[in-house]
Amino acid sequence: MTKQIRRCPWCAAPVPDPSGPGRPRRFCKRSHRQRHYEARRLAAAQGLAPDEVLISRAQFDEWRDRIYLLEAALEDAEQDLGDAPTLRDYTEAFQTLYEAASRTRAFRLEARALGAE
């Protein structure tokens, strides 16, 4: 059986298991607990459904651009590895994919409002 990793409901970072007695922490930081609370309040004020999230236009555009770059890198890699690829082809494909994945990983999508879980 694999151990379930607890994740912060705000940023999805792993939350360490409690070392002592008491209720286990739900958030990785106190500030994330506060931001989650504020996002939930705004969602309620805006009438967001439980499965809805509100993000800024800039964040949405940025996220879409990064996903597009990742898709393009994957398509390039698939093309480069099509016919009898060499070790050099694999290395270049990996580098291209790694760079695109790193840019995507570095991005933090942050909700303004978050529907109830």
DSSP 26-45: SSSSHHHHHHHHHHHHHHHH
Residue 32 lies near Zn ion (rule: CB under 5 A): yes
Q: Which stretch binds Zn ion (CB under 5 A): 22-30, 52-60, 68-76, 97-105?
A: 22-30
Task: State which residue, 13 or 67, has the beta carbon closest to Zn ion.
Answer: 13
Residue 10 lies near Zn ion (rule: CB under 5 A): yes
Residue 15 lies near Zn ion (rule: CB under 5 A): no
In angstroms, the CA 49 to CA 58 distance is: 22
Among 7, 11, 25, 92, binds Zn ion (CB under 5 A): 11
Exposed, middle or buried: residue 19 (CB in 10 Å: 0-12, 13-18, 19+)? exposed
In angstroms, the CA 50 to CA 59 distance is: 21
Residue 25 lies near Zn ion (rule: CB under 5 A): no
Interface ranges with Zn ion (CB under 5 A) = 8, 10-11, 13, 28, 32
